[in-house]
Structure 1
């Protein structure tokens, strides 16, 4: 027998004392609501984080939470409410023991179902208009940015294929927003006939938009808000008990016999982790709703993502990511529409070879407490478009034009967690360029360099008011194609408030005044003969007001918003570099829905109007700022079957007729498009899905696509009905 020692007695006494203190501490705080802002992530990790931060004695078997994800949270809750929200829909329940500590058990009364939650995409946070988590992205399984945003009436995506798709958030084009991918600034405005940000959403972890009013730490140039994309990390793909894994994807679409294949492999060991991903799509031109082949629309997407990282609790996380997305194929001569019935004769098609690549380094150490939580991002990004065409007057010749945009950026900031709130302060810098190249001619280039300082405060006052406010100052040096230099500076400010009126009703308001400097012109219109004497910086004012309610499983929100842009740069090759216009984009959207134990249904309505210099803006003169949208309704819903791991889903878009643009020659026609799917989780590692896109075989042009209001433009019709089979096998 081992001899009895004082240590043998002391250890259990100390453990019991610690548990008693922790239980007492939690008892004091269990009924006190405080503000929580928690990203979606592994359930076990987030439960442990909340328990540690609040001194909650929580112990559970890690196998119970293996492979489960928890939702994002943003609001005022007691600690116990947070724990219950995190496990909602997981098939687990929170059990309090006699000693006051907590544990997790499998619920005997619930069938384990995929977590269903009210997320920020339905009920918005103070300064965010949409926020997609990894779970939500997995449910949608988007193939392109159009599918990514298809459930949001206030987010429109013009274009029928990735190479010509552009995103409009509450009527504002993405080029008028501060866009980042994995923290790296995006400068991808090459040619108005193709996409601005070529993105493969297959491995996105999160998407967040702050429409209109963006925080100071979202970056410079947030004229119409910010748009943030994040790609997955290894921990998003591996359960806590595993250190290695991967998957293979396959997707077949009957419309155009299009096949997508993808594969990823990832692992971690002793703090190190690595991820590699490859995705490719090929096939034929698709058919529209009338059964006609839409020429030059064959898929040509190839994307690659690599990540390596090291993380240590004391030191922080170091991450290096490399991404390359390419789309190369024969496209309509002007890739965003079929052709013109007037004007100079041009070839029917030409090759568009569009590539976006980036190299990002991120370091962060966020302890969620204290005054030292640094973050550093160093990013290099480039988008290159090469067009190749055979001129009509010389079939033996080949004309090649090349546009290259580059951005080198860096952000250094620190988060201070104080008793007054959370303060983020830092500096950022970018060096952007736009180059046009044609063999035999000198390169044409515009360049802009910017240094900014910023501070953003986020705080909770009492139990009902959440505030976010900040300021930034930017100094820009702009250089034109003639070598002339133009220095300017300006200050931007923002404030957003979220006030909980009672248990059911919350009011929100936000305002921002933004100085954006001089935006670079698109590469394909640069002119060496331009004079920049009257070039001016762009400025904007944004505001929004909202009311939201949540009663049981029912929720609703109404938002009114407006963006006023002054000196929005609208250069043209022959008109000069300093042409400018004022834009007014205003509207409102309404969200209503119901969340049940096994699913949810949501309806969203948006009514958006756009003006340029006091006249209704068209898709031509609104380039890089806005597009006519009018009224759009979306309906989406999911149902989880109780006895089998099957989810049924649908979404529909109703675009109402828009005659506001009729002065341009034609109105925008109404249309209805319906999509449906059934998803079957055959095993833990095998997921199967059958989808039918455009169920009614509607023949239509997307509301945000170019040229519908012009009688001289033949628009690109969207794909007709398509039956899609997809599978993912994990290992």
Structure 2
């Protein structure tokens, strides 16, 4: 990659200084004399590139002195840095997977050297390690980004992204759409564990507590072969925190308590964690509970059966040795148990069969994962193993109108047992990831007095993915996978099929400020399981067809002096998507076409950031506009969405101020279904203050303008006979966290 004259001068200066044996020769910019303390966080937007280039840009932005032997960075790559970090956090992420470390000196400078066996391995699961370069990313949140937002649910987590929509006002009915593709049409993993959670279309697919997360990454449309099988619309990966994410570099034990009160619905959340490490071992325990009352919408009306009832927990133990690698075992549980509208994703239906106003939804997701990883950033042997068990169970309990003295209980259980074995070979030609994966998925529906109904699918796949840099300007990622699947229907019939998927993605750095990218995938995903609550023992599976998808994306990214701009054009075409119904054909299929583009402009500086993002997404089913009903499990009508966000830090206080807005424009694409989707504008603001280092106080106002609206991705607003769930009206919240 070519460098500007000032950059070349700085690199020559460092090389000369090292050659002369001088210590503390700076990678630094003009702001070095006003460098804040190393623990102060700063916003960065540094694109991927050669490691020495990324380090140079980091030093210029932060005013950091870095000394070391330039030969250590030769032929090494960094995935860059985007987000808000302290210097130590930033350097950890820049050097992740490189086999290098930055050691802080007494004078505040850093010395670059090879990581010793006594130091913690680079946190390759926090941000993309070296071998993951060239992977297309629609979004990439790390722990610092997530913690800065302090999200209460998945909608909060993604609210700055115009291209990511989350329908549903409460955690148990929220569904995520990335560039118009519903998460069930993507490969979704938590700590590498495959999620098979399509239980009931009225509730959330993946019940996630974002407080547990240290990373969230999405590759919409174009996903690599090692992302997993069935990536029709791309991949979405979540990773939970471990002890090292919560401990300061020099601490070996810690804890925190976190409490929050929100005025709308008198919502109370309490969370706590304890964590520590010693002799290579580490452990963490975390628990959170949220309860309260029904909230009021922007009209001042009570939204019945929306009171929170969430409890979540995480236990994680690990052992890490620089030579042997990292061994990690975790168990996560998230549960929501409360009375909900009878059909939990909307308030009511005019007409149809008479039903009670509500029923209890007891929804639990459990995730148990063993991970082993050894990635030195070099050599041919860098293995990783994931063994996982994922289960989502939904119990619905209702009192029938025709028999008020009885209770009917239905149970749906989805389960996935999965394993992935892979290795990364770092060669001069490319970094090559290859391996095999397997899943055994099942969907069971259970009713007292009746035999269980079950569909199941077993899949074994092999894959290879190449990631290489050419001419210091072109980054390529390309690969393929072969999958063999056996599907079993409710009638115990077996259906065998096999297919090949391929992908390619490239990014060309025109210069230090402009890059162009393009990607394509052809995906074979076999036969997807039907949702549990529509399984029928009388189904005839004679005409099953495997589903395929084709994804295309092109884009550009510009950045200079803290300013950035981005534009992307994308399309996902899914053919033979399975759309069964209880009384219909279990092999019924439809074709979905999701097409759109997104834009972003903004600025990231020392004291904050501001961005404006826009997405325009059209979705069709069999050539007609897709509605929130017939697009179920694949897409939703989204139209035009705009997000505006900004953060401003005042270190002397220390105080941080932030604001965000979501603007949805009217969407008449689905007006033929009865009504157009109404536009809205909703504004959130917050102020965060640290009176003393261990204590963080946050005052926030959600829906400041008390907007009366239905989220664009929520169900039913285009239908005249559906009463959709309105979002909460204005809510004032106070949150306090104390770190021990």
Match of residue 656 from structure 1: 665
Q: How many residues align?
A: 666
User: 1:682 Cα shift?
Assistant: 2.1
Q: Partners in 2 of 1:589 and 1:56 — Cα distance?
A: 48
Match of residue 224 from structure 2: 215
Listed one character per residue, the Cα deviations across residues 276-313 of structure 1 (whole Å, up to 9, x for unaligned) are 00000011000000111100000000001000000001
Any conservation in 1 of the 2:337–2:360 contact (CA below 8 Å)? yes
Listed one character per residue, the Cα deviations across residues 140-185 of structure 1 (whole Å, up to 9, x for unaligned) are 0001000010000000000000110000000000000000000100
Q: Partners in 2 of 1:620 and 1:130 — Cα distance?
A: 27
Q: Partners in 2 of 1:692 and 1:516 — Cα distance?
A: 43
Q: Partners in 1 of 2:461 and 2:505 — Cα distance?
A: 21
Listed one character per residue, the Cα deviations across residues 218-240 of structure 1 (whole Å, up to 9, x for unaligned) are 00000000000001111111112
Match of 1:76 among 45, 49, 60: 49
User: 1:525 Cα shift?
Assistant: 0.1
Aligned pair 1:287/2:296, yes or no? yes
User: 1:596 Cα shift?
Assistant: 2.2
Q: Partners in 2 of 1:307 and 1:281 — Cα distance?
A: 22
Any conservation in 1 of the 2:43–2:608 contact (CA below 8 Å)? no
User: 1:86 Cα shift?
Assistant: 4.5
Q: Partners in 1 of 2:731 and 2:427 — Cα distance?
A: 54
Match of residue 638 from structure 1: 647
Match of residue 567 from structure 2: 558
Match of residue 471 from structure 1: 480
Match of residue 586 from structure 1: 595
Any conservation in 2 of the 1:70–1:86 contact (CA below 8 Å)? no
Match of residue 558 from structure 2: 549
Listed one character per residue, the Cα deviations across residues 47-73 of structure 1 (whole Å, up to 9, x for unaligned) are xxxxx9xx997799xx97569799796
Match of residue 610 from structure 1: 619
- Equivalent positions of 1:26-37 (< 5 A) are 30=11
Is the alpha carbon distance of 1:673 and 1:66 closer, same or farther for their aligned partners in structure 2, counting shifts above 3 Å?
A: closer
Any conservation in 2 of the 1:66–1:239 contact (CA below 8 Å)? no
Q: Partners in 2 of 1:420 and 1:58 — Cα distance?
A: 34
Aligned pair 1:330/2:376, yes or no? no
User: 1:681 Cα shift?
Assistant: 2.0
Is the alpha carbon distance of 1:521 and 1:88 closer, same or farther for their aligned partners in structure 2, counting shifts above 3 Å?
A: farther
- Equivalent positions of 1:96-495 (< 5 A) are 105-106=107-108, 126-495=135-504
Any conservation in 1 of the 2:139–2:218 contact (CA below 8 Å)? yes
Q: Partners in 1 of 2:263 and 2:156 — Cα distance?
A: 17
Q: Which runs of 5+ in 2 are unaligned?
A: 1-7, 27-35, 73-101, 110-126
- SS of equivalent residue, structure 1 residue 256: coil
TM-score when normalising by structure 1: 0.88
Q: Partners in 2 of 1:613 and 1:224 — Cα distance?
A: 17
Aligned pair 1:700/2:673, yes or no? no
- SS of equivalent residue, structure 1 residue 650: strand
Q: Partners in 2 of 1:442 and 1:499 — Cα distance?
A: 57
RMSD: 2.6
Match of 1:715 among 724, 729, 736: 724
User: 1:512 Cα shift?
Assistant: 0.3
User: 1:599 Cα shift?
Assistant: 1.1
- SS of equivalent residue, structure 1 residue 217: helix
Any conservation in 2 of the 1:385–1:402 contact (CA below 8 Å)? yes
Any conservation in 2 of the 1:306–1:321 contact (CA below 8 Å)? yes
Listed one character per residue, the Cα deviations across residues 330-361 of structure 1 (whole Å, up to 9, x for unaligned) are 00000000010111110000000000001100
User: 1:553 Cα shift?
Assistant: 1.8
Any conservation in 2 of the 1:217–1:424 contact (CA below 8 Å)? yes
- SS of equivalent residue, structure 1 residue 541: strand
Listed one character per residue, the Cα deviations across residues 704-726 of structure 1 (whole Å, up to 9, x for unaligned) are 00001000000000000000000
Is the alpha carbon distance of 1:430 and 1:70 closer, same or farther for their aligned partners in structure 2, counting shifts above 3 Å?
A: farther
Q: Partners in 2 of 1:96 and 1:585 — Cα distance?
A: 49
Any conservation in 2 of the 1:374–1:414 contact (CA below 8 Å)? yes
Q: Partners in 2 of 1:202 and 1:424 — Cα distance?
A: 31
Match of residue 3 from structure 2: none
User: 1:94 Cα shift?
Assistant: 4.1
Any conservation in 2 of the 1:405–1:435 contact (CA below 8 Å)? yes
Any conservation in 2 of the 1:68–1:90 contact (CA below 8 Å)? no
